[in-house]
Amino acid sequence: MATRRRPRWNSRRVTRHAALGAGAVVITLLFGAADPDLPAVARLSLGTAYAGLVYLALALMIGPVNLLRNQPNPVSSNLRRDIGIWAGIFGLVHTVLGLQVHFGGDFVRYFVHPDGAAGIVPIRYDAFGLANHTGLVAALVLLVLLALSNNVSLRRLGARRWKSAQRWAYVGAGLVLLHGLLYQLLERRTLALVVIFLSVVLVAAGIQALGISMRRQVPLADRSARAVGLRRRHQDP
């Protein structure tokens, strides 16, 4: 009996993950050095935030870029999945680090007013509280998506349900956008950081809009035939 060959792309994915991880670390260090007066934990929180943002934007742009290039756009692309994994990892690391920046690490005060604070409802509903609540929900979305980013989940859920779950990435991206905008204002980020943040968001949103426009131009029959083909080969290297 012939032995079953392991897929050639295994080594390619290992190399890709190593490159993505190294790239995220470099982005973290570069942005963390943008404000050397900040404490170390604040610099790391800032750096991981931008690393997660860049990777999340890249993951969301791959599908529309494939449409624009008239390339196959499978239900699950390993490239898109791998970038999304690192976006989730650095987004979650940012969440943990960010909760250590203020109040000496007393993270409850990020979400609840301290004792004696004015207000009928103890939950923080000011700009600082809203920024943290949106960030926390975004982190939970990323955690769920990260847990589903594997072949076992894809097989058990099936292509349609798995893809529906992955669309929560757009909800997470919206929450990340609101969280990031609020913290740009609250922390009075430098103009360069604000411009980079907005540039990443606008480029990702623009490419998404182009992808949606192209998809609407494809006849429904062609889309149905394409979907059948993609379900038959739901994974690419």
Q: pLDDT for 138-158, tens place per residue?
A: 999 999 999 988 888 888 888
Question: Residues 83, 55: contact at Cβ < 8 Å?
Answer: yes
Q: Quote the tokens at residue 74.
A: 């499978």
**Cα torsion 54, 56, 60, 65: sign:** positive
CA pair distance 117, 186, nearest whole angstrom: 19
pTM for the whole structure: 0.83
Q: Measured between alpha carbons, how far apart are the two ends of the chain, in Å?
A: 27
Other C-beta atoms within 10 Å of 164: how many? Answer: 11
**Span 51-102, pLDDT tens digits:** 999 999 999 998 888 888 777 666 667 888 899 999 999 999 999 999 999 8
Q: How far is CA 49 from the centre of its chain?
A: 10
Asked which of 8-17, 86-95, 129-138, 154-163 is least confident by mean pLDDT, the reply is 8-17
Residue 71's alpha-carbon distances to 31, 195, 215, 226, in angstroms, are 34, 31, 13, 12
Rg (CA), the chain: 20
Structure tokens at 100: 């250590």
Mean pLDDT across 211-217: 76
